[in-house]
Amino acid sequence: AQSVTQPDIHITVSEGASLELRCNYSYGATPYLFWYVQSPGQGLQLLLKYFSGDTLVQGIKGFEAEFKRSQSSFNLRKPSVHWSDAAEYFCAVGDGYNTDKLIFGTGTRLQVFP
């Protein structure tokens, strides 16, 4: 069965610093991969997704992620973090050949210091 691992439960960075959130997945074929952000009191919002093609995908709010098949990873990056980026970030993989059943990781809580 598919699974997603986010090894970092909590990350703290200074505003303006770069950010990388790790995500590893377990899936035999080419996966459908997603990053969602959840702010307090808000619904999950899609940052970006990978289905096929270019392994470096650009998302909203200045985020990008790179699919590395050899490492089974889909790490999220941002070159300069803003205080408003403080939130919970979830990596997810589509179960099977579609995205109707998403398997989520346990999340990484990002804290940003001024």
Partner 1 sequence: GAGVSQTPSNKVTEKGKYVELRCDPISGHTALYWYRQSLGQGPEFLIYFQGTGAADDSGLPNDRFFAVRPEGSVSTLKIQRTERGDSAVYLCASSPGHGEGEQFFGPGTRLTVL
**Contacting positions for partner 1 (CB under 8 A):** 4, 32, 36, 41-46, 49, 51, 90, 92, 95, 97-107
Least Å from the CB of residue 13 to partner 1? 21
Q: Which residues pair with 112 in a beta bridge?
A: 13
Question: 98-102 contacts: CB < 8 A, separation 24 or more?
Answer: 98/32, 99/32, 99/34, 102/34
Select 79 or 96, whichever has its Cβ closest to partner 1: 96
Select 24 or 99, whichever has its Cβ closest to partner 1: 99
CA atoms of 66 and 64, how far apart (whole Å) = 7
CA atoms of 15 and 49, how far apart (whole Å) = 25
Select 75 or 99, whichever has its Cβ closest to partner 1: 99
Least Å from the CB of residue 17 to partner 1? 25
Least Å from the CB of residue 16 to partner 1? 28
